[in-house]
Structures are given as C-alpha cells and as structure tokens.
C-alpha cells in the first residue's frame, strides 16, 4: 500500500516523487477509502465525479465499437494535485487523460461524439464532476532514439507526456497560487497512473 510520507513544504503530505501505476480500485482505496480520510466531506464525491466522467468515455467506446474495432479511447489517466495528498478535503481532482489519438480520429465529427470536446472544458468538468481534466493524445512511438525521423504528432505526444510528468511532481510554495517558479520545478511529490 502506498503512503503519504513526503512533506515538501510543511503542510500536506504527498507520495514520494515518481509515477505509481495502480488500477481504479487501488486508487480508490488509497484516495477515498483510506482510514485517514474517514472524516472527509469531499473525497467520496470527487471520486464519484471521476467515475461518472470516465463512464462517459466507456459509453462512447460501446457506442462506436465498430468504428473503434474494439480498441479503447482512454489509454490511462494520471491523477495528481491535492487529491493525491494527505489533504482531508481537496476541492477537486486534477487529471491528465491519455486519449488514443487513432480512436479519437475515427469518431471525430460523428453524432454522439461531442463528449470528446466537452470532456476537456475546464468550466464544465469542474462544475459537473469536480475535476480539472487535461487531454494528451496518446500515440505509440516506435523509438525515442531517433527523434529526427518522428512526425510532428509523435513529437507533440512526447512533449506533452514529459511536460505533465514534470508538472504533477511539482509543489507550489506554501500558501502560493502564483505562476510556477524555477524554485518550484524540482520534483517533490508523486502522482498516480490509473489503468482502466
């Protein structure tokens, strides 16, 4: 079982820096059902919002099963921010959703596929799901040792993947909501990769 042991700024505890792969049940056990969160007024509701949010993608997969040839729209989800900390009552969960680019292109513009746009509207996801969701278009890349031969979409995928891996390991200085600084760039906390 994972535990919140890193305390980079003297307030909340976090997972040690790094990315930790778990399934959805393991994530729920750590972030919602953990005895330390028994008195939380927000965690169960945030998780319920996460489940409803993900269910929308699963509904699309079922509806477009023929077009998707049985492949999944969501490759994985990275959960970070205060929801992946010792904070008793976070206000939301921050996540990066890795959308299979090939699958998304197959259903783009089709009736009932509008969720793919709405899913990453910050106002919509905050209001209806208590989430702050970001999209990364997943593309398999044969090799990172020959970056010069990769196409722009493959390079963009690698750039975004690296950027969000870096971001979810940062901590703002205590009490600050200002723009990131060089001082806050050092990895200080971990995050979860949730497989579905």
- DSSP annotation of 119 reads T
- DSSP annotation of 173 reads P
pLDDT score for 175: 65
pLDDT score for 156: 95
> Alpha-carbon distance 108 to 131, whole Å?
23
Query: What is the average pLDDT across 72-98?
Result: 96
How many CB atoms neighbour CB 101 within 10 A? 18
**Ramachandran angles phi, psi of 156, nearest 5°:** -65, -40
Residue 134 pLDDT greater than 90, yes or no: yes
Which stretches within the chain are classed as H helix?
Answer: 24-31, 43-63, 65-68, 101-107, 115-118, 122-129, 152-167
Band of pLDDT at residue 62, cut at 50, 70 and 90 = very high
**pLDDT single digits (tens) 178-196:** 778 888 888 989 999 999 9
> Alpha-carbon distance 110 to 60, whole Å?
11
Distances (CA, A) of 108 to 69, 85, 117, 143, 190: 15, 36, 10, 28, 34
> Alpha-carbon distance 107 to 111, whole Å?
9
- The closest of 3, 36, 13, 10 to 189, measured between CA atoms, is 13
Mean pLDDT rounded to a whole number for the chain: 93
Q: Indicate the SS3 state at residue 133.
A: strand
**pLDDT single digits (tens) 18-43:** 999 999 999 999 999 999 999 999 99
pLDDT score for 70: 84
Q: Indicate the SS3 state at residue 139.
A: coil
More confident residue, 108 or 184: 108
Q: Lowest-confidence range among 127-131, 169-173, 185-189? A: 169-173
Percent of the chain's residues with pLDDT above 70? 95
């Amino acid at each position: 079982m994972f535990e919140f042991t890193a305390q980079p700024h003297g307030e909340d505890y976090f997972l040690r820096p790094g990315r930790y792969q778990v399934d959805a049940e393991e994530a729920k056990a750590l972030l919602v059902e953990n005895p330390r969160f028994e008195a939380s007024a927000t965690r169960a509701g945030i998780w319920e919002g996460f489940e409803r949010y993900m269910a929308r993608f699963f509904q699309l997969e079922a509806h477009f099963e023929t077009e998707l040839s049985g492949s999944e729209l969501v490759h994985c989800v990275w959960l970070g921010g205060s929801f992946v900390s010792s904070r008793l009552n976070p206000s939301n969960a921050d996540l990066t959703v890795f959308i299979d680019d090939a699958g998304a292109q197959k259903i783009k513009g089709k009736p009932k596929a509008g969720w793919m746009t709405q899913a990453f509207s910050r106002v919509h996801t905050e209001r209806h799901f208590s989430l702050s969701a970001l999209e990364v278009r997943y593309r398999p890349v044969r090799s990172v040792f020959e970056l010069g031969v990769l196409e722009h979409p493959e390079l963009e995928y690698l750039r975004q993947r690296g950027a969000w891996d870096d971001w979810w390991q940062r901590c703002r200085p205590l009490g600050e909501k200002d723009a990131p600084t060089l001082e806050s760039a050092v990895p200080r906390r971990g995050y979860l990769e949730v497989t579905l």
